[in-house]
Structure 1
Amino acid sequence: MKYKIMRRVFLGGALSIVSLLSVVNASVLTGNVTVDNEYNVYLSTNDNAQGILVSSDNSWYESEVFTATLAAGTDYFLHVEGVDTGGFEGFLGNFSLDSADHLFSNNIAQLLTNTIDWSVSTTGWGNYGNTSSYGDNTAYPWYANTRPAIDVTSAAEWIWSEDDTATHVYFSTAITAVPAPSTMAIFGLALAGFAYSRSKKQA
């Protein structure tokens, strides 16, 4: 009986601490984006759904900066809809997160446009395939223009669909919520206490 009461007290206290520690701060996503020629940026919790509009622009000569708040504990997909109205086409950007509560698909808090971490579709949100690179921010024909928010040394690449005739494309990358390490540690401690109390009772 004594061990049973101790076990309940221990588990109750540990789970209360877990509940308190699970309340973590939201992350702020910052993006610097340009698309030749137009774009819309969305945040979605479903990779096959468009999501909520957070930024748009139709002037590719300079990059635009946007911010968006990510709810703690929620996974997201960053969606960029690119439109080419003639001539050359490409999507260029760099992105960052202000906390370790979320990470990009490359498992860090910074992400550039590249052919590894982004998928693209020409038919809508879903049925994603591989992207194609036209080179970094200094590549022809864009090198003559200035984009102060996207440093030429950042190694961000101009990307598009492998089908370079596509005039409407849909880019996607994942942003994953990260459990707080302290929460996981307390949860492990609670399990250890439970196992210990069981072994004492059986002894």
Structure 2
Amino acid sequence: MHVMLVLSSLFEVIHSNNFETIPWKFKVRMMLDAARGIQYLHSMRIIHRDIKSHNFLVDDDWRVKVADFGISKVLDTDTAFTQCGTTGWVAPEVLLDEDLGYTFKADNWSLAIVMWEMIAGGLQNPFIGMAPIKFYNKTINAGIRPPIPEGMDSEYIDLITECWKSDAAERPSFDVIVARLEQMLLDLGASIDLPPTFQGGYHQAGVATTPTLL
């Protein structure tokens, strides 16, 4: 067991009244933490299958950890078949006929939605609560994606749009995602190993004992 001081889930942090006060480089750092966690899972041939902001925990140093491996799976091949995940974050190919299957890159789509949540402000995720067949038609056939706010970092937006491409094979690997986020941090003058110093915003909510997290 690993004891970590937990502020809250990333979802709760994003939807707190203080989220807009967090500096941009800090938010990029949080996404780098998230991506590194999934990168490690994939390196161990584990597909998470339920990546969403609720399943990242933020500690008292504003570091992000991957959590909830309840439906994760170790893949002997590059393809999984069981339909699972959370509407609003799940990749469209996961909802296809189970005979077709999906790959590790279903997690990439889900991270793109989390990255979008980090910049969405008051915008709503249009896919939450949508029936699977409607969601598939909207995303694959009509190419609908969550609305991107104006004035956002172009490199960050480019990475999001690449990660939620309809063709999973065209989505960047997590090695690429991590490298791109690291470069964004460097371009912002921040360390890729230590979080930027930031005081304020959320306050420590208590101590949680959790299984070892990534």
Instruction: Determine if the TM-score, normalized by the shorter chain, exceeds 0.5.
Output: no
More helix, by proportion: 2
Greater fraction of residues in strand: 1
Bigger Rg, which one: 1
Q: TM class by shorter-chain length?
A: under 0.3
